[in-house]
Amino acid sequence: MWGLFLFLIAATGGALIPEPEVQIQVLEKPFICRRKTKNGDMLLVHSEGFLEKNGTMFYSTYKENNGQPVWFTLGIKEVIKGWDKGLQDMCIGEKRKITVPPSLGYGKEGKGKIAPDSTLIFVIDLMEIRNGPRSHESFQEMDLNDDWKLSKAEVKAYLKAEFEKHGSEVNETHHEVLVESIFEKEDEDSDGFISAREFTYVHDEL
């Protein structure tokens, strides 16, 4: 392994008051990296959380959760902002230490064992990456004719295949209703297609 490799994310450009950023320290990196994490991916991680103030561990997947790593989706605010920002471009097998300022963690309120205004340190092992339901890979899989938009027929075909994969009976009426409700929500410009932009997560605020 490459040993300790310090890498600081530069302060946000353009902002008048520089926002506190996540500090990323890469502890281990694999030689082969076929894929890097990005928003919309599902990540399987082991993690340990510490309070920066006194080094107290407040969470560990090795000790809690029956020692099992946990899945979450990156970039959709399922986790604290510090994770969404600090676990980008990560390889499977990579280990990082990220330092998260309170504003990107649990803020002024704190949470459970975490006191208000706590800076947090996480050591994170990335075990696996999977295509999230909103990833480009999933979109390409659904877009059968490669025209970069999803028709109702394409969405229906995908749903059918998914239901069959999970051993559920395919009910035509049920699928029609499901497809309609998906388009109602996702087809923002009501042109009868779900575009790549409409489909994938857009999180410019991250």
Site for Ca ion in 144-163 (CB under 5 A): 145, 147
Residue 171 in the binding site for Ca ion (CB under 5 A): no
Instruction: Give every CB contact of residue 114 below 8 A, 6+ residues apart in sequence.
Output: 51, 58, 105, 106, 120
Closest CA to 90 of 117, 50, 127, 122: 127
Q: How far is the CB of 149 from Ca ion (least distance, A)?
A: 5
Per CB under 5 A, the list member of 78, 128, 137, 191 interacting with Ca ion is: 191
Residue 143 in the binding site for Ca ion (CB under 5 A): yes
Site for Ca ion in 18-37 (CB under 5 A): none
Q: How far is the CB of 159 from Ca ion (least distance, A)?
A: 15
Cα distance between residue 199 and residue 107, in whole Å: 31
Burial class (CB in 10 A: 0-12, 13-18, 19+), 192: exposed
State whether residue 157 is helix, strand or coil: helix
Compare residues 4 and 153 and give the one whose CB is closer to Ca ion.
153
Q: How far is the CB of 192 from Ca ion (least distance, A)?
A: 7
Compare residues 127 and 142 and give the one whose CB is closer to Ca ion.
142
Note whether 196 and 149 are within 8 A (CB): yes
Cα distance between residue 204 and residue 107, in whole Å: 21
Query: Considering only 14-22, 34-42, 64-72, 137-145, which stretch makes contact with Ca ion by CB under 5 A?
Result: 137-145
Residues in touch with Ca ion (CB under 5 A): 143, 145, 147, 187, 189, 191, 193, 195
